[in-house]
Homo-oligomer: A and B are copies of this chain.
Amino acid sequence: MARRLTQQDIARMAGVSQTTVSLVLNNRAEGAVRISPETRERVIRVIRETGYIADPAARRLAEGRNRILGVFTYEAVFPATSADFYHPFLVGIEECTEEAGCDLLLFTSARASGGRRRIFDQDSRVRLADGCVLLGHTVDRDDLARLITDQIPFVSVGRREDAGGPVPYVGADYASAAGALVRRAVALGHRRLVYVGAGAGAESWVDRHRGFLDAVTRLDVEGVMVNATPGADPPPGTPGVGPPGVQGGAPDMDAVLGTGATVAFFEEQADAVAFVAAARHRISIPADLSVVTLGSATRPVRSDIDFTGFRIPRREMGRRAVELLTGVIESGGTPQELLPCDLIEGSTLAAVTGGGPRPPAS
């Protein structure tokens, strides 16, 4: 390959020193060092004529930064199965990165021997970015801890528990949203509510469950729980955003109906879809039983049901993550934010009419 043009070349052509070229290029002529307008002009002309562009690697090496933001995901970002899931985040991330005049480095390479991605394998390119956004299902605790101890600027999309120190994140306020939905249900006369899901493991599940429980307690109504993920507790990893398609079995319909609750809160929309499909011929929704989903489709499930629930502000989370990240890069800190989720009116939550659903036919 033809040798690239360097500042040295420009310097020669303009009859000045490499230093001068660098100075001109970076407008560093304010303080101690001065460049005469004529010289400056001459250098600028040569630069323009030759179309010289500084080598980003050398630049980064010398000044320590890059204007490159990294995005790390533990799964492929683009595959069809999770496309719907990741896409909104990426939209937000790209938008904001572009506004910041940065480029985006997707760490697609990092594969540990086991097959799972790891941030810190030998020759990882993480350090090439000024900082990075963590996206995805499972975040390895060790990776997280190392990011912290190494003081690599990063922001996680999705709340994460401490990992040898507080983790900077921007999450969705599942707890509040779940609480709001509980209040709404109670306002409609519901007094016995069932939570269908794991309620543990991933931070996002914990948060939903906590919001549910808090509200139920505060409003002094009955809240019961039906586990929807048999044989999956505790999950091996620590999902924060919510994995596309990791849960196991469908929720036990009889168990849900057997609680005598008048409204069911589903942790995962996919479970709600399965439940409704199965229960449709036995009960009427929402007449016999109201159904609320805690978050919009995480797993790619198609359904024409207009569930009552809330929208996870994924795009905003992506945007905000980048905003926070640039802040961290500039001035450090450990921002932790939860973004509000819009409630979705839907049509599966109605006022209590009769005495609740029929008990299972058994």
User: CB within 8 Å of B: which residues of A?
Assistant: 1-2, 4, 51, 53-61, 66-68, 76-80, 83, 87, 90-91, 93-95, 97-98, 101-109, 111, 120, 122-128, 146, 150-151
Contact = CB atoms under 8 A, between A and B. Distances in A.
Given A54-B123, A87-B78, A105-B103, A111 B94 contact: no
Total identical chains: 2
Contact of A98 (B4, B66, B76, B123): B76
Contacts of A108: 94, 97-98, 102-104
27 contacts: A4-B127, A51-B146, A53-B120, A53-B124, A55-B61, A56-B124, A57-B128, A59-B123, A61-B61, A66-B125, A67-B123, A67-B125, A68-B125, A78-B93, A83-B87, A87-B87, A94-B106, A97-B108, A97-B109, A98-B111, A101-B109, A102-B108, A102-B109, A103-B107, A104-B106, A104-B108, A105-B105
A94 B122 contact: no
A66 to B, nearest CB: 8
Given A53-B127, A56-B125, A94-B108, 8 more contacts: A57-B127, A59-B123, A67-B123, A76-B95, A78-B90, A79-B91, A97-B108, A103-B107
A210 B80 CA distance: 33
Nearest to A128: B56
Given A103-B107, A104-B108, A146-B51, A78 B94 contact: yes
A338 to B, nearest CB: 24
Contacts of A126: 53
A151 B57 contact: no
Contacts of A106: 94, 103-106
Contacts of A66: 57, 125
Contacts of A54: 123
A306 B252 CA distance: 38
Nearest to A332: B1
Contacts of A104: 105-106, 108
Contacts of A55: 61, 127
A302 to B, nearest CB: 14
Contacts of A77: 94
B51 A120 contact: yes
A216 B74 CA distance: 51
Contacts of A57: 57, 60-61, 66, 127-128
Nearest to A89: B78
Nearest to A107: B103
A79 B87 CA distance: 9
A265 to B, nearest CB: 29
A93 B108 CA distance: 10
